[in-house]
């Protein structure tokens, strides 16, 4: 990815942070973004110290003007945009999800803003730049839940399904213009904060959802790297499960 300009949304923690680190290590000029300025500035500084060029742009992607400003700031700084990774997520909203009849209007709207409207607003600005370059790669970080629903996650499941459908539409409309769009569909990925105190019983249950082992952020980062890079220029419109085999066959428990 030497010289490629890449925005990774939600890159102040978790999956996005590891994707940003790997992209930078592979030579990309990475734009770190999220709502937490302190964490974002620290990660951008870490990437500059270890890998080269990186910057931070604060953005709340549930707000359309913030999404537009993120793309504008990136192009103003680097005069290009080659890769957009739609990874931003809101654990706070997910924690308030539930069965379809129980989900509040506020949660429905917030979830759609994070997983559908935010990426759509970014694409409104990113795609014209990619068309001008005749090259671009969009990688959406979705969820296994979009294909195999989990209990009490109605809004999350629906919004990730919409993200998957949006990727197919982009593939069809812009494939002949050199713009690729692919989706990574993670299984359960260990999270630095959420799983810091994982007890043996929950670990056993989570491991039982997979045929191999629990996933790590690195697993998703390497998948995103491949799809974003020029090595995958013949790959577009795919939904890549990175889930320890749980798409091919269900593990010991229903996830």
Structure tokens at 21: 């680190």
For residues 31 and 55, the answer to whether their CB atoms sit within 8 Å is: yes
For the chain, how big is the Rg over CA atoms in Å? 17
DSSP single-letter state for residue 192: T
Spatial neighbors of 244 by CB under 8 A, at least 6 apart, are 187, 209, 210, 211, 212, 213, 214, 215, 251
Element (H, E) at 135: none
Element (H, E) at 218: helix 217-228
Is 78 one of the annotated active-site residues of the chain?
no
Q: Rounded to an integer, what distance in angstroms lies between the CA atom of residue 114 and that of residue 110? A: 6
Q: DSSP strand E in the chain: where?
A: 5-8, 29-34, 54-58, 83-86, 136-141, 179-186, 239-242
Q: What are the beta bridge partners of residue 137?
A: 83, 180
Q: What count of other Cβ atoms lies within 10 Å of the Cβ of residue 161?
A: 18
Q: Rounded to an integer, what distance in angstroms lies between the CA atom of residue 224 and that of residue 49? A: 23
Marked catalytic residue, from 156, 174, 188, 226? 156
Cα 119–chain centre separation: 10
Spatial neighbors of 22 by CB under 8 A, at least 6 apart, are 218, 221, 222, 224, 225
As annotated, the active-site residues are: 156
């Amino acid at each position: 990815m030497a010289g490629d300009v890449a925005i990774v949304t939600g890159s102040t923690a978790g999956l996005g942070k590891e994707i940003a680190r790997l992209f930078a290590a592979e030579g990309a000029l990475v734009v770190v973004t999220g709502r937490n300025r302190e964490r974002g500035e620290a990660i951008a500084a870490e990437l500059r110290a270890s890998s080269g060029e990186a910057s931070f742009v604060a953005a709340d992607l549930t707000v359309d003007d913030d999404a537009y400003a993120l793309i504008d700031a990136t192009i103003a700084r680097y005069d290009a945009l080659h890769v957009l990774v739609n990874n931003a997520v809101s654990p706070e909203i997910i924690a308030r999800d539930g069965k379809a009849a129980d989900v509040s209007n506020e949660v429905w709207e917030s979830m759609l803003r994070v997983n559908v409207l935010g990426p759509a607003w970014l694409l409104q600005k990113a795609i014209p730049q990619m068309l001008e370059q005749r090259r671009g790669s969009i990688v959406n970080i979705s969820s296994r839940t979009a294909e195999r629903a989990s209990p009490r996650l109605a809004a999350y499941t629906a919004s990730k399904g919409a993200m998957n459908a949006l990727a197919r539409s982009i593939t069809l409309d812009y494939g002949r213009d050199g713009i690729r769009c692919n989706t990574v569909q993670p299984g359960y990925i260990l999270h630095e904060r959420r799983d810091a105190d994982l007890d043996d019983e929950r670990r056993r249950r989570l491991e039982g959802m997979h045929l191999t082992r629990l996933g790590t952020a690195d697993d998703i980062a390497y998948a995103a790297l491949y799809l974003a890079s020029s090595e995958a220029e013949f790959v577009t419109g795919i939904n890549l499960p990175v889930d320890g085999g749980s798409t091919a066959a269900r593990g010991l428990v229903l996830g």
